[in-house]
Structure 1
């Protein structure tokens, strides 16, 4: 018998080794999605579908023609959960309170109100159309805050299933492109100035790059105001995540036994919750946002952290696609598409009412 003690961390290596194949598969899908996004930008002048969306689509196609075996499952699950949570944590460093201060108190209160009303209203519409509670919340937060990024961030906080996340992102992505193309048509119809249209675009368009694409036709003022309003709207993600993490244990999908949600059986995630209520990555997200607001995050690290967050999110979306059955997305198609479309139309109406109220 050997008297040499085994290294304390030796048991961890087999676990890490089991994660490598699936994680590398997710990375490969992410690289294909990124290449497709670059090709799309070269051909059309811009990427209508982001690498994040393409990663889900490519992963879903792979999953449709090939079922990953036991060798791959560990890494796929790790990428879909832990890497996504790390990405959310790093996103905190990209947000600061200074953006809120630049918006102004009147419009800031309006943005908070629009986001809150939009989430409640969209959730109600989703439930009326037959969506399960978690799916309805994903659609609501995606419409109200920042589309795909909000859906990806909210999913682990509420224990949403992979197929629900993929479905919500797929339909939100399509509607996001349609919004960018159609929103400028409201300028003459509603007699909007450049500043007013910038506020409307910032409150309704999903992603920051899409806000830029939607506001360029209206001029520089629309671009600047739209971007500023959009950034303030994105900052609502932190408080919303915190609230949802506190109420997540109350969510129960139709036909689901109490306590048997997607996250209920994950003991590791449960131990990582602050007092079993707030997930660790949300605490980290808010902490990094606070450090950024007080200028304690070195500026040289901001760009690498943003890049890392983007890549981790794309890899996590590839993992979600690899775990998604295309038939489940097809079955959920019409109710989800209807909920996303009706909710967005009502958000546009609420945003226009706010513009009129603020003058």
Structure 2
């Protein structure tokens, strides 16, 4: 046994990570196939591959305990690949979007995200959720669902159970929002512009904005997409702030000597995110690279979601169910009310 353990420590990290990485990739691949099956059967994917990946990984982990040889690769996929995916997202946004929107709408978006995060954290703590879980749910609702939860989870060092639970419940409500938003816009007699702003401020993913705003008209789609992209732009600053707060608290929890470290206050993947965003804004990122970078980020995220699921026992997730459902629902209600006010004002 000692010889086996010694041999494992001498194995290069890439080879130690290979079993878990391949397992995560296999689960991610199965999620992609399931999404394609949805599209073939019903014409659209009501549950995206990101959610399917984490659900498939969670079910597999609940039914089967992976051997220790898989742990390194699963951890690598859930953390390092996820950080790389978030960093690459910076190439998809630019400050030009802010200029097109106008100052009042931008302020409305920033205010909505800030209020939604604050309300979500307060609601989570009021219902007795752990602090990190409350932050994950709040940021997921306020910004962009899965991607925000995944990015913030890295920044605050959240457990896999917490990240997976937040993703699962926000994903379910995300589908509800897509179905209900067009009806709500019609009932409230919103214009296409107002409906687009409401969709951009409440729906989690850009493709979902297209689905939710589509019934309202072309203008609603254009406005909704613009608002959603600016809302995604908030991910970098929010993750940086979460990293700062967590870094200031960590030394006291671990009884280590506090000191300044740039990596602790601003993780490298956020520096790359902001750098790519600035490069995109200055026209330094070739247009031909945008699609490959987006594809790479999406694939990394998909594998990371599968790895997150592989680190979660479903029985532990279900134990926190009722409180999480309540907090996510109330947080989304607060976001919807604030978003409606902004939409009416714009």
Map of 1:315 onto structure 2: 303
Distance 1:12 1:192 in 2: 64
DSSP-derived class of the 1:276 partner: helix
Indicate conservation of the 8 Å contact 1:133/1:251, yes or no. no
| 1:259 matched to 2:254 | yes
| 1:354 matched to 2:345 | no
Map of 2:5 onto structure 1: none
Distance 1:15 1:230 in 2: 39
1:42 Cα deviation from its structure 2 partner: 1.4
Indicate conservation of the 8 Å contact 2:120/2:137, yes or no. yes
Q: Could you list the per-position Cα deviations for residues 162-182 of structure 1 after superposition, in whole angstroms to 9, with x for gaps in the alignment?
A: 010000000011000000001
Map of 2:116 onto structure 1: 118
Cα gap change, 1:207 to 1:251, in 2 (>3 Å): farther
Map of 1:244 onto structure 2: 242
Scaled by the length of structure 2, the TM-score of the pair is 0.93
Indicate conservation of the 8 Å contact 1:249/1:259, yes or no. no
Q: Could you list the per-position Cα deviations for residues 191-237 of structure 1 after superposition, in whole angstroms to 9, with x for gaps in the alignment?
A: 21111111111111111111100011111111111111111111011
| 1:343 matched to 2:338 | no
Distance 1:209 1:225 in 2: 14
Q: Which runs of 5+ in 1 are unaligned?
A: 1-10, 265-272
Distance 1:349 1:231 in 2: 20
2:282 to 285, 288, 294: 294
Indicate conservation of the 8 Å contact 1:134/1:251, yes or no. no
Q: Which runs of 5+ in 2 are unaligned?
A: 1-8
Matches within 5 A, 1:123-142: 123-142=121-140
| RMSD of Structure 2 on Structure 1 (CA) | 1.9
Map of 1:84 onto structure 2: 82
Scaled by the length of structure 1, the TM-score of the pair is 0.90
1:178 to 176, 179, 195: 176
1:275 Cα deviation from its structure 2 partner: 4.9
Q: Could you list the per-position Cα deviations for residues 1-46 of structure 1 after superposition, in whole angstroms to 9, with x for gaps in the alignment?
A: xxxxxxxxxx986221111111001000010001001111111111
Map of 2:4 onto structure 1: none
1:274 Cα deviation from its structure 2 partner: 2.2
